[in-house]
Amino acid sequence: MSNQINPSKMYLGNLQEKTWPNGEKFLTGTICLDDVEKVPAEHIQEWKNGKRYLRIIVNPYKSGANQYGNTHSVSVDTFKKQEDKQDENKQEYV
């Protein structure tokens, strides 16, 4: 088993869109902790409060729900602002 997940496909889990009795929608799902542990350190941010954070993206499936009823995917947000690329000292990476 690899120590890191595929950087081009850093999927962490799936979500399902559900509806409360009052009509409000919400998402519920799972994130694979084994995959989170394999995310490259460059994507883990340590904030001033000393805690580590992982930015994520939640995307709806274009074709609607999959065979398991999942409607959204969760993946690692690998986007870097142009200024961050030029000066990576602005944030501390673990």
Record the pTM. Answer: 0.71
User: What does the pLDDT read at residue 9?
Assistant: 73
Q: State percent of the chain over pLDDT 90.
A: 70
Q: How is residue 81 written in tokens?
A: 């602002």
| Averaged pLDDT for residues 56-77 | 94
Q: Is 16 helix (H, G, I), strand (E, B) or coil?
A: strand
pLDDT at 30 over 60: yes
The closest of 31, 34, 35 to 7, measured between CA atoms, is 35
Q: Is the pLDDT of residue 1 over 50?
A: no
At 13-26, the pLDDT tens digits run 999 999 999 999 99
